[in-house]
Structure 1
Amino acid sequence: MRRNVEVKARLRALAAARGAAERLGGAARAQGQGLVQADTFFRVPRGRLKLRRTPAVLTQALGVLGMVRKERLLYLVGQTRVHLDSVEGLGDFVELEVVLTEEQTVEDGERVAHQLMKELGIEEEDLISGAYLDLLLAKGDSSS
C-alpha cells in the first residue's frame, strides 16, 4: 500500500517556487505538467465525495457542497510530487506529496518534506491544514 507524507502551504511567490521546482527536478523534468482541474464536492452524510468529471448525475442526486477550480503545475522532485496550484478565489499554494518507499518511516518523509520546504521558501507560518474547499467555505464562497 502506498504511503505519502503531505504538506500544503500558501505560496508567497509562485514564480520563485516554479523556478526552484524546475531547478530541483533536473533537466529532464524541468517543465511542469500543466493541469486545469475543477473538483465538485457533493453533500454526503460523512466524509467527502469529490469528482473531477461528469458530475451531473450526482449533482441531481446529492446536491453540490462546493466547487474548487485550480490551475496546477506538477513537478517531480526525487520521490516527491510538487504541485503548484493557483486556486480561483484563494490564491497560490503548494502541495508536497512525498511518496514513501517500504523502508521509509513517516519521519523520513517529513524530513524530505521539510528540506523541500526550505528549498521552495516555505515557512512554518505558511502551512495550512484542510482542503481548498474548507478555505472557500470559510470565506463564504463555495462556487469558485
Structure 2
Amino acid sequence: MPSNIEIKAKIDDLQPFKQKAGVLSGSEATVLAQEDTFFNTPNGRLKLRQIGNEKNSELIFYNRPDQKGPKFSEYHITLVNDPENLKVTLGKAYGIKGVVKKTRYLYIVGQTRIHIDDVDKLGSFMELEVVMKPDQDIMEGEKIAEDLMQKLDITEKSLITGAYMDLLLK
C-alpha cells in the first residue's frame, strides 16, 4: 500500500506562505478546487474527492494516527468516472459524515507535496506529504518533513492532529 509522512498546520497568512513554498519548489502553484465527501467507516477514513469540473474523481481510503507532527499514513486510491452515482451508493451504504470544500495550492519539492489549503468555514492550512519510496525508512521521511517545516517556519504550536472533516465536526 502506498504511504506518506504527513504534517498539517494552521497558517495565519496565505500569501507569505505561498511565496516561501514557491521559492522552495522553484515554480508556480497548481490551483485545484476540491470537494471531499467523507463517509462513515469502521476504521480509517474514506473520501470521494472531486476536483473542479473534472468528471474523473478519486475514492481515497487512508489510515493515519491523529497526532501532532509528522505521522505515517497508508492510503489507497481508486479512480472513479461516475462520482455522483458512487456518492449516492456509498452514502446509502455507510452514511455521509460531511463535506470539505477547499481551494488547494499545490507545490512540489523533491518527493514532497506542499498543499496550501483555503478551507471553507475553517480558514487557511498547510500540509506536507512526503510521498515515501518503496522500502524508504520512515525516519528518513520524518526528517524530510521536519526539514521543510523549519524552512517554511512551521511552529509546533500551529500543528493540528486530525483531518479538516474532524475540525468541521467540532
Same fold (TM over 0.5): yes
1:122 paired residue number: 154
Residue 113 of structure 1: SS of its match in structure 2? helix
80-89 vs 62-71, which deviates more? Answer: 62-71
Letter matched to residue 125 of structure 1: K
CA distance in 2, matches of 1:135, 1:82: 20
2:80 paired residue number: none
| 1:65 pairs with 2:62 | no
Aligned residue pairs: how many? 135
1:96 paired residue number: 128
CA distance in 1, matches of 2:38, 2:2: 24
CA offset at residue 103 of structure 1? Answer: 5.8
Mark the runs of 5 or more structure 1 residues left unpaired by the alignment.
Answer: 139-144
CA distance in 2, matches of 1:135, 1:24: 29
Residue 117 of structure 1: SS of its match in structure 2? helix
Mark the runs of 5 or more structure 2 residues left unpaired by the alignment.
Answer: 50-82
More helix by share: 1
| 1:107 pairs with 2:104 | no
Per-residue CA shift, 1:45-99, capped at 9, x if unaligned?
A: 4443211232233334443211111110110011110000011111111110112
* Residues 112 and 46 (structure 1), Cα distance of their counterparts in 2 relative to 1, 3 Å cut: closer
44-53 vs 107-116, which deviates more? Answer: 44-53
Per-residue CA shift, 1:88-120, capped at 9, x if unaligned?
A: 111111110112334642112111111111221
CA distance in 1, matches of 2:112, 2:147: 11
* Residues 111 and 47 (structure 1), Cα distance of their counterparts in 2 relative to 1, 3 Å cut: closer
Residue 111 of structure 1: SS of its match in structure 2? helix
2:48 paired residue number: 51
CA distance in 1, matches of 2:22, 2:144: 17
1:38 paired residue number: 35
Letter matched to residue 97 of structure 1: E
TM (norm. structure 2) is 0.72
TM (norm. structure 1) is 0.84
